[in-house]
Amino acid sequence: MKNQLQNQEKKLGIASLLQKGEDSKEDFLKEELEYDGKQDGDISKSIIYQLEVKKIYLDPDLTLVKFSSIVGTNTTYLSNTVNRRFGMNLKTLVNRYRVEHAKRLMEVWDSALDIGELIRASGFSSRSIFYSAFRREVGMTPTRYWSRLERKTNES
């Protein structure tokens, strides 16, 4: 706890507290840590709501700045919350949602249709970003995944 308090004190840059006694600093920093935890929770709830309900990941122009504005926080808080609560950066989190959306679309999408449409419908801004994110998340290319889906459908 003491190390965490010292780190928080450095992060907050509270010069006036340096003159105060240890008890005063500890009480103040405990309050700050509790506030940060509550704020993290509020931000993460908003992130989940925006991703799960509003599906903002479908916006190909979504940026950290735009997302933080939607969530109602600044980019630093948003980025830190995503890192702490989800264990990844925002780009990876958004792309994970986009890939899952693309996989659901592939289940009902006619493979004869343009894959570019599927890419755009999943919120990706380019084919290369889509292929890279898909391969990272699924472990195979979208084409191979789609072929496997079609094979399973034909076997049924």
What is d(CA 42, CA 58) in angstroms, rounded to the nearest whole number? Answer: 22
| pLDDT tens, position by position, 22-51 | 555 455 444 444 445 556 678 989 999 999
pLDDT band at 155 (very low <50, low <70, confident <90, very high): confident
Q: Report the pLDDT averaged over residues 53-75.
A: 96
Residue with tokens 């509550």: 38
Whole-number pLDDT of residue 26:
55
